[in-house]
A and B are shown apart, each in its own frame.
Chain A
Amino acid sequence: MPLSPTELAKLLELLAQTQNHELNCEQCLALVAEFAESQLAGQSVAANLQAVQQHLAVCGECREEYEALREALISMRENGPDE
């Protein structure tokens, strides 16, 4: 299963971010709405949401979904809820 230099670099980055205790994707999903709202409000990351931030750092799929959620919330804030 050959890995390209890019894939190896990605794995090293993941290993650097790996923690002994991490949320799984389902646990992240349960908290990501609260995390997104707090981020958009410019609040520092609360202790109970730090695990969400860590999960988003190691899970590309949850990060992609979070970024789309964030885009939707920003657009709603700028254009109003019904536009």
Chain B
Amino acid sequence: MNRDNATWRQQLAQHDAGALADLRATLMRNLRRGLAGRPRADDSFLEDCAQESLLRVLDKLDQFHGRSQFTTWATALAMRVAFGELRRSRWKDVSLSDLTADDDQAAPDVAGDGAAPDVQLQQRDLAAALLASIQHDLTARQRTALVAELKGMPQDEIARQLGSTRNALYKLTHDARKKLRERLEAAGFTADDLVSDAGK
């Protein structure tokens, strides 16, 4: 049954059985499409995610403002649920403290093969300045969170191990990125240096 956004909202708010069943089936189909080929995303996993997503949609129904198709919005929530589960299962046994053990580090060679000597020198200076700033300008908590993210640990898992939330973690690492960028710019590196080095 095709429904417009207002009908979805109204029927789901009333826990209409037909609307619940249709939305669950839609989420299941869209999860299968979006996660096609992903390891561990089998039918059982997708069924669980569709069910959990349905509950999440009902919980957030008043946050849907009709700026997209209702099913697109609900599918976006379902992707958050499904990828959260996949990441959690992959990282649940990894300790944040092991991942971010504190060791001194010399600047690694970030220059690409064949880069001109002056470019290599600038890249080495930039890497050294960045590592020094990570060590000296960030708080221990900022450093741990940022390094864990760079090593691929999911934000939900970092937040859980830090006793925080994903939103608070985002603010923590955003503040860390801003501070590092400011320090590099104060040390004479321009925004263009960051862009050109990141692109090499």
B9 lies within 8 A of chain A by Cβ: no
**Cα-based distance from A24 to B164 in the complex (angstroms):** 14
> Is B52 in contact with chain A by the CB < 8 A criterion?
no
Q: For chain A, what secondary structure do more than half of its interface residues adopt (helix, strand, loop), or is it mixed? A: helix
Which of B150, B191, B195 is close to A10, meaning CB atoms less than 8 Å apart?
B150
Instruction: Classify the interface of chain B: helix, strand, loop or mixed.
Output: helix
A57-72 with Cβ < 8 A to chain B: 58-59, 61, 64-66, 68-69, 71-72
Q: Does B53 contact A (CB under 8 A)?
A: no
Q: Is B76 touching A32 in the complex (CB atoms < 8 A)? A: yes
- The count of residues in chain A whose C-beta lies closer than 8 Å to any C-beta of chain B is 45
- The residue in B36, B63, B108, B171 that gathers the most chain A C-beta atoms within 10 A of its C-beta is B108
List which A1-52 residues lie within 8 A (CB) of chain B. Answer: 1-5, 7-16, 18, 20, 22, 24-26, 29-34, 36-37
Which one, A1, A9, A34, A72, contacts B100 given CB within 8 A?
Answer: A1
Q: Is B18 an interface residue (CB 8 A)?
A: no
Partner of A15, one of B108, B109, B177: B177
Residues from chain B with Cβ under 8 Å of A81 in the complex: 26, 29
Contact of A24 among B31, B69, B170 (CB under 8 A): B170
Answer whether residue A75 sits at the interface, using C-beta atoms and an 8 A cutoff: yes
CA distance A36 to B30 in the complex (A): 14
Cα–Cα, bound, A25→B171 (Å)? 10
Q: Which residues of A have CB within 8 Å of B143?
A: 1
Q: When each residue 50-86 of chain B gets 1 if its CB lies under 8 Å from chain A and 0 otherwise, what string results?
A: 0000000000000100011100110111011011000
List the A side residues contacting B20 at CB < 8 Å. Answer: none
Expressed in whole angstroms, the minimum distance between the Cβ of A29 and any Cβ of chain B is: 6
Q: Which residue of A lies closest to B170 (CB)?
A: A24
Q: Is there a chain A Cβ closer than 8 Å to B184's Cβ?
A: yes
User: When A and B form their complex, which 10 residue pairs have the shortest distance between CB atoms, in order from nearest?
Assistant: A68-B34, A13-B198, A33-B68, A72-B34, A75-B33, A12-B198, A16-B194, A72-B30, A72-B33, A33-B73
Additional A-B contacts beyond A24-B174, A36-B68, A72-B33 (12; CB < 8 A): A12-B194, A12-B197, A13-B199, A24-B166, A26-B167, A30-B63, A36-B76, A58-B177, A61-B155, A71-B33, A73-B75, A76-B33
- B residues lining the A interface (CB < 8 Å): 26, 29-31, 33-36, 63, 67-69, 72-73, 75-77, 79-80, 82-83, 87, 100-103, 105, 108-110, 126-127, 130-131, 134, 143-144, 146-147, 150-151, 154-155, 166-167, 170-171, 174, 177-178, 180-181, 184, 191, 194-195, 197-200
